[in-house]
Each structure stands twice: as C-alpha cells, then as structure tokens.
Amino acid sequence: MPQRANIPDGQAILRVTDLVKRFDGRAVLDGVNLEVRPGETLVVMGGSGCGKSTLLRHMIGSMRPDEGRVELFGHDLAELSEDRMDLLRKRFGILFQSGALFNSMTVGDNVALPLREHTNLDDDTIDIIVRIKLELVGLRPAVDRMPAEISGGMKKRAGLARAIALDPEILFYDEPSAGLDPVTSAEIDQLMMDLSGKLGVTSVVVTHEMDSAFRIADRMVMLDRGRVLKIASRSEFEAIRDSAPSGDETTDLIRQFLRGESQGPITRRRQDTGYAEDLLEAADGER
Amino acid sequence: MSDGVGKRGAVRALGARVLGGLEYLGGMALLLGAAGRWAYRGAVSRKVRFGGRALAAQMVRVGVRSLPIVVLVQAFIGVILALQMSPPLKPYGQESQVAVIIGIAGFRMLGPIITAVVLSGFAGASIAAELGTMVVAEEIEAMQAMAMNPVRVLVVPRVLATLVMMVLLTVIADLMISLGGWAVSRAVLGPRVYVGYWDRMRDALVYADFVTGLILAGVFGTLISLIACHEGLKVSGGAEGVGRATTMTVVYSIVAIISAACVFTMIFFVYEI
Ligand SMILES: Nc1ncnc2c1ncn2[C@@H]1O[C@H](COP(=O)(O)OP(=O)(O)OP(=O)(O)O)[C@@H](O)[C@H]1O
Ligand SMILES: [Mg+2]
C-alpha cells in the first residue's frame, strides 16, 4: 500500500461543502456538497456546461469559491498560502479536458517536467521513469514527438502520463475518454482501474461516456443546475438505469441521462423554460 | 439627449479610462514585485529554481535574433547623425565636432532608445504571443496545477534575459552608431571630420555618458519584458486575444520607453549627471 499521509481510514480525502461559484452573477455551482473517500473512484456526471470542469478547478484550488469550502487532504484550500498549496499540488495529478500539454516541448519532456521541477533525480533516472509512464499509456514510441504532431487521443494519453509522473495520491480526470475510439477508451478505463486497484490511487473522473462510467465507478454523482442531484454507489445508479419510469421527477431525470434518451424530464424542462423567457426578452427589447 | 447627459457620459468615460490605466499600472507593479521576489528567492535559495537552461534559451532568443537588426539600424543612425550635423556646423568651421555630437547623442540616448524599440518589436511581441498562446491552450493553468508558478518559470527568465540582452545590445549599438558616423565621414564629409574622429570622441565623452545609457537600457529592457509578460498572461478569448496582446505590447512598450527616457533625462539633468 502506498502511504496515505494523515488521512485516517474512512475519512474523506476531499470534501466540498456548500460550494457556490458565480460567473457574471449567474451561479454555475449553487451549493455543491460531496466527499471523496480514500481509494475510491468517484464519477461526476451532468449535462454539458453544468459546471463539471468548474467543480474540478475548485477541487484542485485553481479557482476560489465565492462561498463554501473545499478541503483536500484535510486542508481548507482557501486558507493555504501559495507555498503550502504548492506542496499539496505535488500530491495530486490532473488530466485536463484538452490534455494541456506544453506545446513547446516534446512528449517526453512534458512527462519529465514535473520530475525535473520537483525531484532531485538525475537525468538518466528521469529518462527511465518517463519511458515507464509512457509505456503505461502506450505512447513510448512518441517520446520525441511534439504535441502538434500527435492526435487528440494521444495528447490525452500523454497528459495522463504527465499527471502520474509524480505518483500522485489522487488523480482528477476531465473527460479522459471523450473523442477517443472505443478500444483506446476502454484501454484508458483499464489504466484508470489499474491505478486505483493496484496502486490505491483515489480518482475523481468527469465523464459523459456512460459505458465507461459504469465500468470504472465505485460511486457516482449527478450534477444538475449547479447542485448535486444524487450521489450514490454504482449499483444504485445501475438500478435506476434499469428501472421503469416511476413518475418521480428526480429519478426519471437521472434515468433519461444515464440512458441517453431524447424524451424525458430534461427535454421537457428545456422546452418550458428557455423558450418563453426568450420570447419575453425579445418583446422587452422591442419596447 | 441633453448636453448634461453627454457631458456626464464623457466625464464617466474619462473616469473609467483613468481607473483602467491605474489598474493596469497596478497590475504591472504587482508583476514586477512578484518577479523581483522570485528572482531574489532564486538567488538566495538553491531550492527555488527557474532553470539556467530557460535563461540561456531566452537570452539566445531575445539577443541573437535581434542582433542583425540592431547592428543595421544603429549604423544608419550614425550615418544620419553625421550627415545632418555637419552642414549647420560648417559655417562656424566646427564640422570636426560631429564626432562629439555622435558620441553624446548616441551613447546617452539613441543607442538605448532605438535598440529598445527594435527589441519591443522583436522580443516583446514574441513573448506576448508565446505566453498568450499558452494561456489559450490551458498550459498556464496546467503549469499552476503542477505546482510551477508561472512568474517563477516564465516571467523571471524572460525579464532577466531581456534586461541583460538589452544592455549588451546597447553596447554594440553605441559602437555601431560611432562606426556609422565614422564611415560616412570618411566616404563623404572629408578629412576635417574623420581625421582624429575617435580621439575627439574619446576626449569629449565622460564615463557618465556611457553609464547613463546603460542604465536606461536596463530600465527599457525591464519595461519591455514586463509589459509583454503582463499582456501575454492576461490574454482571454482565443487567437484574437493573442493578436491584440502582441499589438498592445509594442504600443505600450514604445510609450513606456519614451516616457521613461524623458523622466530619466530630467533626473540626470537636475543632478547634472
Ligand atoms: N472562466 C469563466 N468565466 C466565465 N464563465 C465561465 C468560466 N468558466 C466556465 N464558465 C461558464 O460556466 C459554465 C460551466 O462551465 P464548465 O466548463 O464547468 O462546464 P462543463 O460541465 O465542464 O461542460 P462540458 O461538459 O461541456 O465540458 C458554462 O456556462 C461556462 O460558460
Ligand atoms: Mg468540461
């Protein structure tokens, strides 16, 4: 087992409390509460633009909450100095939605960068670690390529190799398998499961791919209108997915999302909010 | 619309402009402070790194690429000065003083200022474009998430490199202005000007002429690189934002260079340096 510093068993490694974030007065996150337990894989779901990436940015301390708190490894992120925050940053890894590789460096240098920055390892050792990490994501042949020369899927895998360079205790993934072919996507899933199963890495995964979500999740959380609609174990979500319509708004909404159906509460809501308001606004403009 | 509303609107717009300007200066001051702090920490502590490699790379990029242009442009400045100054001096039989004028005007002001303008187009614009592109591609955010402070990793090496290169290029610029003046004297203006050219220049110049020029060069280099980093790091809105940042970097740099030159010249004048 890797050491998991000062987190007693059963306690949360990450806790989000009443998190509110507004952009231009519009609350994108509107009172989010959730916990991530050591060693688990938590999948975050929700419609496009519902604030999943924003939630992730708060979890890694790159955005400050307007209200509420984010505690990582038992520290309130808002109260940490920049130097203390940097110490925490070395203990987690993040895979950005776009991969976010440094375009001026080769794939290998991208993976080596955190090692060069934060360890005192010599160049040969770093080189070996880089090759191991790239082999893990199936990218060893691309070590000397520039990010501009590789495909979107390869960028994501390279980003993952960089995220695990320092053997983090917790990993954040923003849509790791979006835009990948089914086989590559399944390989990434397998890799994520290996990391959590064999190395005990805690994972928070934002994803739209339901197959992948049900493969990797221990627990799942569904966001809607800036709040947590439901947070529960995978089996509970499976039960909802496989159940018949119940007439309960929340359950039906989740079922529609999980099944990816075009009819249901989500569609109805879109129809009866937006449209009428749009017309009224247009009428206001006329006057 | 009544006149009153128009006037109030204008006052409000002016107020917003002034506030915006102050905010910009404040942002620059904060960046300067942060860069200074990191540079200091890097100097005193072995734990804080920004990489000798990065510094060297930036120096090559800032300096080597601008060198040919600086050499060319500054030689032309020498030629222009010599050709323009000799006719008005001729009636007094003082054409020989061309060497003195070139020395003082070149070393004190034209050397550093023209070099700085070249550098703001070369180094400033490319730094702003580079950092702006990194912002757009989420690279800066990724860097922060990896516990690498962008000021330490990106701004400090660029500011140091631009400062050092600006000073070195100015030494070369001084030389080129003098050479340009000498060459055109030799070719066109005749022996009264070019015989004893270097002796006259050396006798007339004092240390302060050379040193104040280099001080200015350092100030200009710091200004250019800070403006470029500031503009680059605050880019938002994709490729268009990057384009705007590069343009504004050059515009603001030139304004800053000439304003600083004016202020420093006043100071040197008052203290008779
Ligand atoms: N820096 C920002 N400034 C202003 N608005 C923002 C900012 N970041 C995000 N938003 C807005 O917040 C909302 C949520 O964005 P976010 O990227 O978190 O969504 P998401 O759930 O990750 O969507 P997707 O599934 O498409 O990636 C969007 O409406 C977006 O326009
Ligand atoms: Mg997103």
Which pLDDT value is given to residue B43? 74
Work out whether strand A14-23 and strand A26-36 pair parallel, antiparallel, or are unpaired: antiparallel
Does B1 have pLDDT greater than 60? no
What are the residues of chain B with a beta carbon less than 8 Å away from any beta carbon of chain A? 49, 130, 133-134, 137-139, 141-149
What does the alpha-carbon distance between residue B144 and residue A60 come to, in Å, rounded to a whole number? 10
Backbone angle region of A18, left / alpha / beta, with phi > 0 → left and psi within -120 to 50 → alpha: left
Give the confidence band of B91 by pLDDT, cuts at 50, 70, 90. Answer: confident
Please tell me the predicted confidence (pLDDT) of residue A274: 62
Q: Which of A128, A170, A171, A174 is nearest to A155 (CA)?
A: A174
Q: Do A100 and B139 touch (CB under 8 A)?
A: yes
Contact A114 B149 (CB under 8 A): no
ipTM over 0.90: no
Closest ligand 1 atom to A63 CA = 1
Residue A144 has pLDDT above 80, yes or no: yes
Residue where the block lists tokens 């959380």: A221
The DSSP 8-state label assigned to residue B174 in this structure reads H
Is residue B163's pLDDT more than 90? Answer: yes
pLDDT at A4: 42
Q: What angle do CA A235, A216, A155 make, to 5 degrees?
A: 155
Collapsed DSSP state (helix, strand, coil) of residue A151: coil
Kindly give, in sequence order, each residue whose CB lies less than 8 Å from that of residue A70, ignoring residues fewer than 6 positions away: A14, A15, A16, A17, A19, A58, A59, A61, A76, A77, A78
Distance CA A173, CA A98 (A): 11
Cα of A174 to ligand 2 centre, how many Å?
7
User: Which of A24, A59, A103, A115 to mutate: most B Cβ within 10 Å?
Assistant: A103
Ligand 1 centroid to Cα of residue A23, in Å, is 9
Q: How many CA atoms lie within 13 A of B65 on its CB side?
A: 17
Report the percent of chain A where pLDDT is more than 90: 42
Whether residue A52 has its Cβ less than 6 Å from ligand 1:
yes
Ligand 1 atom with the smallest distance to the CA of A50 is: 21
Token match 């999980």: residue? A258
What does the DSSP assignment read for B148-170? --HIIIIIHHHHHHHHHHHHHHH
- Contact assignment for B139 to A102 by CB distance below 8 Å: yes
**Domain spans in chain B, listed from the N-terminal domain onward:** 50-270
Chain A closest-CA separation from residue B129 CA (Å): 13
Residue A244 DSSP label: P
